[in-house]
Amino acid sequence: MSSDLDVFVGNTTLIDEEVYRLWLDGHSVAEAVSLVSPVSPLSPVAEAVARRLRGGVLEREGTSVAVLQSDTRDHYRTFQMLERLLHAPPRLLQQLLFQIPPERQALLVQRYYAFDEALARELLGKKLSKGTKKELDEVSARTGVGIRSCRRQFDNFKRVFKAVEELRGPLAENIQQLFLLPPALARDYAAIVFFANSRFETGKRRLQFLSFGDFAACAQSMMAHWSQGALAPEAADPDGDLPKSFLQDLKELKVLVSDKDLLDQHKSLVCSALRGKISVYNELEANFKALSRALVNVGGKLTHARDVRDFFVDLVEKVIEPCRSDKWSPGDLRLFLTHYTAAPRNLPGFRHQALWERYMAAISACLLRMYHD
Amino acid sequence: MPGKLKVKIVAGRHLPVMDRASDLTDAFVEVKFGNTTFKTDVYPKSLNPQWNSEWFKFEVDDEELQDEPLQITVLDHDTYSANDAIGKVYIDIDPLLYSEAATVISGWFPIYDTIHGIRGEINVVVKVDLFNDLNRFRQSSCGVKFFCTTSIPKCYRAVVIHGFVEELVVNEDPEYQWIDRIRTPRASNEARQRLISLMSGELQRKIGLKVLEMRGNAVVGYLQCFDLEGESGLVVRAIGTACTLDKLSNTSAFLPACNSPSKEMKEIPFNEDPNPNTYSSGPSTPLKNQTYSFSPSKSYSRQSSSSDTDLSLTPKTAPSPQGPRIFLFPSSPTLSCDSPHLKKSCLLLSGSSVKPLHCSHVSPVVLRKSVSFTEELLLAASGMGSGSAGKEGGPFKTLLRQQTQSALEQREFPFFTLTAFPPGFLLHVGGVVSARSVKLLDRIHNPAFVGIMGNTRSYKLLDWNSFNSDEPETRDAWWAEIRQEIKSHAKALGCHAVVGYSESTSICEEVCILSASGTAAVLNPRFLQDGTMEGCLEQRLSWQPGFFSIGSEKGEVDFFPQSQDSSSLLGIEEASPPGCGFCHIPYDELNMPFPAHLTYCYNCRKQKVPDVLFTTIDLPVEAIVVGKGCLIQARLCRLKKKAQAEANATSISNLLPFMEYEVHTQLMNKLKLRGMNALFGLRIQITVGENMLMGLASATGVYLAALPTPGGIQIAGKTPNDGTYEQHISHMQKKINDTIAKNKELYEINPPELPEEIIGSPIPEPRQRSRLLRSQSESSDEVTELDLSHGKKDAFVLEIDDTDAMEDVHSLLTDVPPPSGFYSCNTEIMPGINNWTPEIQMFTAVRVSRLSNINPTNQTLNKNFNDLCENLLKSLYFKLRSMVPCCLCHVNFTVALPEDELVQIAVTAVAITYDKNQALQANKAPTEKSQQRASTDNEEQLQFPLELSSDPLSSQPFSPAKEALEGASSHTGIPAAQRATSLEKASPLAEGYLRHRSVPSGTNSTVSVVKMTPLSFLPGAKITKYLGIINMFFIRETTSLREEGGVSGFLHAFIAEVFAMVRAHVAALGGNAVVSYIMKQCVFMENPNKNQAQCLINVSGDAVIFVRESELEALPVPAPAAAAQPAGSAGDVTT
């Protein structure tokens, strides 16, 4: 006696958090095979059942595998029907099909859009295209995130990206509004969109020590200080694109390294301020010009898309690595950056003070965040 | 022109993409009522159109208002080709027609398409201006309130309970019309949906007319059903109980004021003609021509069956008061009618002359035989059967009966569809009465027509109506027969009324089993008579003196030899203790209609009670119960040979009595196994399939303190010599005894020890294995004189004479009790639990299983069926485990046999949580009315109740502090800011949501929460207003079954859609809950090879507004419900 049809529908939609997690995670075939059960080994439901069995539901509730399967299938069907709505969370709030308490709706959305940082790290700066999606198999293998889950998360990134690509105003807020995400999660998505938009290179070996969190923090500082919205909230361009005029203006800063006098004065100002205050004073004195050149040139290159990609590579290669080899402590770096940024104020003939500080604010934040092992 | 219907189409949202090129839709709306159609402008290129139309006004008869649904069709405009339909919304405007219900229908409705399901939503506002209609010959019955609830609705008082009303209308099923071959499935489905909507409206209107005629103003316990008879048509029938209700708040108003036409009705002098209007319904719209009805309020409507009633084998000793048998020829009653009938009778003449021929064809005797057998066996086994009526029995009882009979007998059928009654209404309960009849649908085609044409197929091309106009009479006659049967059974039990009455059908191909069942009862006449009815008043005056005289001389001497004075005799019925009065036998013990075993009532010790009591009603609130109740089911399969027509009907008829007997034995055994002595809410469903019959009986077992302690179950073996066998038997006996003991503990059945009783020794000496062996409760001395009758009956002895019997015993023991923390019952309230918390979860579960046996036997089928039910229950317990401790209430199983080897089981029930701590105290206190009330402070303890309990009323920010506290779990309607504070986990959403509010878009229009429950009440809440009946019928079809997730995916989505549409309609009426919700039909058909499936679902319930009891003080003046409706405008930031 086999059940052809087996459904359970509640007036209030039942959401089992455990099953939802299993559904979101996707499943590996290996797990399903380990289950001694009549269900076809490839079905995701079987895997979920297997997981639940391992979780000890059976012992806890004194129920049978058949019951567990039926329950899991019900939940899976519900989630599949909900998925369409989860693609546009405001619709989840408005829809009439499922009666779900608000806190459950929030949970559904939050969990659906939560992502594995390892995966996000892999995808940072990559074009969210079909090609990238095809490479997800490798990503899945590298990160240990199930392939189904990888695809879902990738689709989430892409969906968010598409939705806010053309919108004006602050990225994170737009995302938060359109997808009803918690602020922190919305900021992370903003970072992903920002990276995907500017296509920063993050995959180089020398950048491997940087986590998703590091990059997200950098993206946030860059958006916070550099984007048009940072100056004029009603700005016309989306935050994801760095304003062209600003990038153009950055070329003006080259004077700090190209003008020998300015460079020397800058150095002496910084060195006098830092003498005795940092442990690596000698190294600083020796490397100041190289550092300053690197810091200023990174900005100067941002007008060319190809050079933009190398932004983080340059920072690491030309600033972080030299400092690290000279055994700067993070405190040293912080002090240096503070004074390095502040010093031009006292430079005679330097007219780009505001621009400089705006530029350095983001660069300093990035560097400090990235300066670790 | 008594009514003006006004409709405004505000906006749409989330419409499907109809134009692939632009990914957009050019939507417009057609609003249709009757034959008038209005259109909105096309709103180009949007998935969220804002039509904001003018008010479309329809000026219509109130008759039309009652019959017709408002039909709203959303279409996609296409310049070059035909406009594509997106979907439809049918709105039943009936709730707007009575003054006390809703005043406006306004809200978002899901746009439904029978092929694609829900496709977006549409915001509609509907109003009705109703003018008074003084025409006494009017056809409408606006103002009569309808309730699905099978008790007196909570905010009303019953002034008079008039009695049974019924009606049926018949039409051809559009699915089987010739045109169906050329039209699309969508068109066919929509024709069907519309027709059924129309027929329900008409049916309701006609019932309403009958109620007005009886001078009532409401129908309670309204149950409407569809019989999909396939080729032979579509029957919509309804039964209910006519009442005069009085709103509790204003006691002065007797009848609904203002627009209600019933007020006018009162002023009309009483017309002698019982049915001045019903017959004269002329066709006022073309559509109405298609549906004919016949109201069988008088016995002469039974003409088609009149010739066979005499041949029935039922022992009908009590003559029917109207004596229908005198009409031997169908034509005579119609001719004897009053003038209004003339038209009708002329119509009938053509058919009636051929009728005798029809009768000889059908051989109705064969078909009807089952009914009588069935009934006798069932009742005899239950210990409360039929047999001969106690005509010359106790004069006292007879008198008593007469007193109410006088009131009841003017009605043809003294039936009540109610299952719960006002205190004092129910005096005695006799037992379950039921009747079944097997009919061949094939034969109902008008015999006249068959005679003329000689070809049953060709009629489809002809005008159906002219030939089938008298078809409803056939159906009416069938039901009248069965009701007559029920009535006579009730009489045999010494009862003059039947309560908890219901009717059902099971159809397979051309065979139809009609079933009716109820509980024979003696009622208090006080509620049945309308003081204004002179006839009744007279009778009341006339019987009273007679009652005194005879009662004092005979009743005292013969029946109450102990110490009853005449004063107690006078008011004996009222004087009997409320907790046990209904258990006292209504029949005469010296002339019992069946062998029963009586004892003195264990509560009052004055009157006799039976040893077990089976009823179809809810447990009376005043009943004294020991411990808790539990769901008891008997399940049974019987193989049947495939056969055609009459042979098939005959074989079913022959099987039925055995099935009933077996079902009954199972119930009895399972009841004993749980140590209980009474069943409430008994519902026996016999389903017919092509090659088998299935029986499923559900009831709630309880231990009534008034009834004797049930004995145990004794196993008797046939081969006493065999040592190992004997060992086996004793082992089994031990297991049974253990189970009984365990169950007693589980259900907390510890009846108070009575001095002369020996409780807890249900095991007799193992040596005694004679068939006469019975169990022991009757060791009390008072009953010794009655012990003589014991030999006749051995319901407690299970005799194991072959392996089958062995398996029966095994199956008895396979019923697993629910996991701890769960209780279940199929009645409204769980006996023994009275501290409900407000969390409820209504659900529907459907399973279809294939019986895969190649050579099935009754045994294997039984086991399969049993497993199916048990597994279903198990999975319900598992799913609802987060609600523990909770009780599944109103567990309603329906079985269908859609195909050869398929069994479909649908369950609808509600899980209600209760407070465990208080349960302990509650056990000690007798069951009270307060069962329905949950203590208010429980609400705050619940952190995250599963069910949203937000109601529009509470969304008014009257007590922000309190709401903030509760808001997280129970309010969606409160301002987001407040909610955000209470939502810790969920704050992100709330924040995001908050943002949206600042955006000038409509994204913030929250969906108001609507609770659904099959019960008539909501725990911890007070129903403040009934908004009208919800009665919806949907068809869903798919031609891409696999793509929609297979049968399960398809049905899952459909059921969710049905819930959504019910909720949307309730919300639009301004309500926040549906009570007495029932899924009356769920017909699922699949054709996996063609990748197709179709499903029909019919649901109904009462839309209400409820207020949490805790909020009642905070909200002295309920805010108008309409204010809580979501704002009309909406947009979407995504576009």
Contacts (Cβ under 8 Å, ≥6 apart) of B814: B866, B870
Cβ-defined contact of A6 to B1006 (cutoff 8 Å): no
Q: What is the rounded (10 degree) CA torsion for B44, B49, B53, B56?
A: 100
Q: Residue A96 and residue B1063: Cβ atoms within 8 Å?
A: yes
Mean pLDDT over B460-464 rounds to 35
Chain A interface test: which of B17, B109, B875 (most A C-beta within 10 Å): B875
| b/e burial code for range B56-77 (CB count within 10 A of at least 16 → b) | bebebbbbbbbbbbbbbbbbbb
The whole-chain average pLDDT of chain B stands at 69
B1126: closest chain A residue by CA: A94
* Residues of chain B numbered 258-287 and touching chain A (CB < 8 Å): none
pLDDT of A128: 87
**Cβ–Cβ gap B1055/A7 under 8 Å:** yes
Give yes or no for a contact between B852 and B901, defined as CB atoms under 8 angstroms apart.
Answer: yes
- Please give chain A's pLDDT, 373 residues, in tens: 456 789 999 999 989 888 888 888 875 333 433 343 444 444 666 667 777 766 666 666 666 777 888 888 888 889 989 999 999 999 898 889 999 999 999 999 999 999 999 999 988 888 888 888 888 888 888 888 888 889 999 999 999 999 988 887 788 888 999 999 999 999 999 999 988 888 888 888 888 889 999 999 999 898 888 877 655 555 555 666 777 788 888 888 888 888 888 888 888 888 888 888 888 888 888 888 888 888 888 888 888 777 788 889 888 988 888 888 888 888 888 988 998 888 888 887 788 888 888 899 999 999 999 988 7
Contact B980, B958 (CB under 8 A): no
CB proximity under 8 Å: B 463-482 to A: none
Quote the CA–CA distance of A75 and B579 in Å, as a whole number: 46
Q: In terms of pTM, does the model score above 0.90?
A: no
- Structure tokens given for B1050: 């398809």
Tens digit of each residue's pLDDT (9 = 90 or more) over B249-306? 643 333 333 333 333 333 333 333 333 333 333 333 333 333 333 333 333 333 333 3
Of B14, B847, B947, the CB nearest to A5: B847
Token pair, residue B855, equals: 């050579």
Name the residue among B849, B878, B979 with its Cβ closest to that of A67.
Answer: B878
- Give the angle subtended at the CA of B296 by the CAs of B293 and B300, to the nearest 5°: 125
Residue B247's pLDDT is what?
Answer: 82
Chain A residue numbers touching B47 (CB-CB < 8 A):
none
In three-state secondary structure terms, B264 is helix
Amino acid B800: pLDDT: 60
Bridge partner residues of A3 (DSSP): B849
- The CA distances from residue B563 to B559, B568, B569, B579, B796, in Å, are 10, 10, 11, 21, 35
d(CA A365, CA B804): 83
User: Would you tell me which residues 1091-1130 of chain B have a C-beta closer than 8 angstroms to some C-beta of chain A?
Assistant: 1130
Distance (Å, rounded) from C-alpha B570 to C-alpha B229? 52
Residue B70 pLDDT exceeds 90: yes
* Average pLDDT score over residue span B801-823: 71
Residues of A with Cβ-Cβ distance to B1047 under 8 angstroms: 4-5
Q: How does residue B318 score in pLDDT terms, banded at 50, 70 and 90?
A: very low
Q: Note the pLDDT of residue B772.
A: 31
Nearest to B262 by CA among B159, B344, B342: B159
A160 touching B (Cβ < 8 Å): no
pLDDT band of residue B120 (cuts 50, 70, 90) is very high
Q: Cβ of A102 and B14 within 8 Å?
A: no
CB pairs under 8 A between A and B: 209
* Contact indicator for B303, B327 with CB cutoff of 8 Å: yes
Q: Is B94 a residue whose pLDDT tops 60? A: yes
What is the model's pLDDT at position B409? 53
A-chain CB neighbours of B847 within 8 Å are 3, 5-7
User: Can you tell me which residue has the tokens 């058919």?
Assistant: B351
Model pLDDT, residue B594: 64
Neighbours of B607 (CB within 10 A): 22
Reduced to 3 states (helix: H, G, I; strand: E, B; else coil), residue B896 is: strand
In this predicted structure, the answer to whether residue B743 has a pLDDT above a threshold of 70 is yes
Indicate the SS3 state at residue B24.
strand
Predicted confidence at residue B544, as pLDDT, reads 34
Interchain CB contact of B108 with A (< 8 Å): yes
Distance, CA of B684 to CA of B695 (rounded, Å): 7
Per-residue pLDDT band at B1112 (split at 50, 70, 90): low
Contact B1063 A3 (CB under 8 A): no
pLDDT, residue B798, reads 60
Q: Which of B30-44, B375-389, B1055-1069, B1099-1113 is the least confident region?
A: B375-389
Q: pLDDT: is B16 or B860 the higher one?
A: B16
Tell me the chain B residues in contact with residue A74 when contact means C-beta distances shorter than 8 Å.
879, 1052
* pLDDT tens digits, B326-347: 222 333 232 233 333 333 333 3
Residue B1105 pLDDT level (bands cut at 50, 70, 90): very high
How far, in Å, CA of B615 to CA of B499, rounded?
9
Residues of chain B contacting A66 with CB distance shorter than 8 Å: 871, 875
Q: Residue B88 burial (CB < 10 Å; 0-12/13-18/19+)? A: buried
Lowest-confidence segment of B27-41, B401-415, B645-659, B896-910 by average pLDDT: B401-415
Minimum Cα–Cα distance from B1085: chain A residue: A5
Q: ipTM beyond 0.95?
A: no
CA distance B713 to B795: 9
